[in-house]
A and B are shown apart, each in its own frame.
Chain A
């Protein structure tokens, strides 16, 4: 159990750094989705399933969707 939690902590840390280091907003939206999923896995390993479910729906669905819609609107405004 401890090994699982530690490894998930490391995955969350690595993905969080990647979210910051990825510069293109389109790529960042996808990495944010992955980060949300890894965070949900961490919450499940820490025995908090309600929080994990909320994180999946918000971080995996709503956040990338809203960012992608905003990006599409901005890109069409530029043209």
Chain B
């Protein structure tokens, strides 16, 4: 097809789609005046029945906890796929034994290393706060897990791959990630032990606003945080090791 015909085809399609979009957005409720019975119901149920002050966490982990399990397993599968695709091939193992830890380039300055030493605990604790207070304040397992992982990724960027791998070697990271992913299923199965349906709340609900409230959501937050943090740490580690391998190959 020549370019002119393609352009004409695009214009026709864009006109049809554009006019439908404009007509649809004109019929939406006014900005700021949402009509959402589900949202109103969730707001009431979250605080009074589920004892959660963060309605989003109540919906994610309590009312629709089953969907979050699917999301977590998607993340788990994606991390596994990346690890599978980027694992060292036999040719790499023969040419560059993993024991050669010297990285190319000059050593990092003292300022960078000191900044990393100061930043790591602060960011780690902030991430833990996001994870454990998921049912009280905005945050939750996913956001807190990525914050915890970003603390270690910053160490990687500021100091280098050697200290990063000493800090989070791949075996404990894989263990934590698998515990996170499996823990979600185990918590769901715990409800079966009590004769209720999968993922029903088994822990006492407590009072809204205290740390140990919202029953299952607290443990599910921890478990999702572990899975996300472990997964992200693994992905970034394997990317960085790939880059190191490629750069070392260039040096020869």
> Per a CB cutoff under 8 Å, which of B54, B138, B143, B246 touches A73?
B246
Is A65's CB within 8 Å of the partner chain B? yes
Q: Across the interface, do A57 and B147 meet the contact criterion of CB distance under 8 Å?
A: yes
> Per a CB cutoff under 8 Å, which of A50, A52, A61, A73 touches B146?
A61
The number of chain A residues with a CB under 8 A from chain B is 17
Q: Across the interface, do A54 and B143 meet the contact criterion of CB distance under 8 Å?
A: yes
Question: How would you classify the secondary structure of chain A's contact residues: helix, strand, loop or mixed?
Answer: helix
Task: Pick the interface stretch among B40-48, B87-95, B235-243.
Answer: B235-243
Question: How would you classify the secondary structure of chain B's contact residues: helix, strand, loop or mixed?
Answer: helix
In the assembled complex, the CB of B237 is this many whole angstroms from the nearest CB of chain A, namely 11
Is B232's CB within 8 Å of the partner chain A? yes
Q: Across the interface, do A69 and B239 meet the contact criterion of CB distance under 8 Å?
A: yes
* A49 / chain B contacts, CB cutoff of 8 Å: 138
The number of chain B residues with a CB under 8 A from chain A is 22
Q: Across the interface, do A53 and B153 meet the contact criterion of CB distance under 8 Å?
A: no
* B246 / chain A contacts, CB cutoff of 8 Å: 72-73, 76-77
In the assembled complex, the CB of A56 is this many whole angstroms from the nearest CB of chain B, namely 8
* A58 to B246 Cα, complex, angstroms: 27
* A15 to B239 Cα, complex, angstroms: 28
* A52 to B130 Cα, complex, angstroms: 13
Q: Can you name the residue of chain A whose Cβ is closest to the Cβ of B56?
A: A50
- Residues of B at the A interface (CB closer than 8 Å) are 54, 56-57, 130, 138-140, 142-143, 146-147, 150, 153, 232, 236, 239-240, 242-243, 246-247, 250
Closest 4 CB pairs of A and B: A49-B138, A57-B146, A53-B143, A69-B239
